[in-house]
Amino acid sequence: MAKFRYRMQSILDIKYQLETQAKMELGKAQMALNEEQEKLRRLIERKTNYLEEGRRLRENAISVNDLRDNRNAVLIMDDLIVAQRIEVVKAEEVVELARQKLTEIMQERKMHEKLKEKALLEFLEEEKRAEAKVVDELTSYTYGQRGKENGNGDGSDEYGHAVPD
């Protein structure tokens, strides 16, 4: 039996490589998103600490400078939080683009795998037909030889039926 060779195997191999690369890119993008979200969480936590510090300052002896510094720190934290939320949204967009790219590459790979599977099935079917043809030829030859061995030189078998050459 002949060996099956998929004629577009190199393309399928490239699709596997592209899929691996896209998975790594998605992983990196997801890590960057996680880092941005962690930065946002820390900024929000810092703001909460500043607000708590402001409450304590108001409860204790009032120092205008301390209150003003605290209020400025809270306002700066608000600005930083807004900027960080924008960074988180950008990182989410990068993750989504990487996810879409991976999905597209996976679909292409699956398509090529299906083509390979179809080519294999066609190959096996062709091999089956070729094998059946060989079996038919051997059967015909053997049947013809039996007719000649039985002494029917007239081209017929032992029952008087015509035997093809």
pLDDT in tens, 112-128: 999 999 999 999 999 99
Label residue 88 by pLDDT band (50, 70, 90): very high
d(CA 158, CA 163): 10
Mean pLDDT of 43-55: 93
> Domain map of the chain by residue range?
12-113
CA 73, CA 103: separation in Å to the nearest integer?
A: 44
* Cα distance between residue 72 and residue 159, in whole Å: 114
**CB neighbours of 108 closer than 8 A, spacing ≥ 6?**
15, 18
**91 or 139, which is more confident:** 91
User: Rounded mean pLDDT of 85-96?
Assistant: 96
pLDDT band at 2, cuts 50/70/90? Answer: confident
> What's the CA gap between 28 and 98, in Å, rounded?
9
| Least confident interval from 22-31, 63-72, 118-127 | 63-72
d(CA 28, CA 121) in angstroms, rounded, equals 39
With contact defined as beta carbons under 8 Å apart, do 16 and 110 qualify?
Answer: no
Per-residue pLDDT of 11-23, as tens digits, reads: 999 999 999 999 9
Residue 139's pLDDT is what?
Answer: 84
Structure tokens of 155? 């081209």
Which residues have a Cβ under 8 Å from the Cβ of 102 and sit 6 or more positions away?
19, 22, 23, 25, 26
DSSP secondary structure letter of residue 165: -
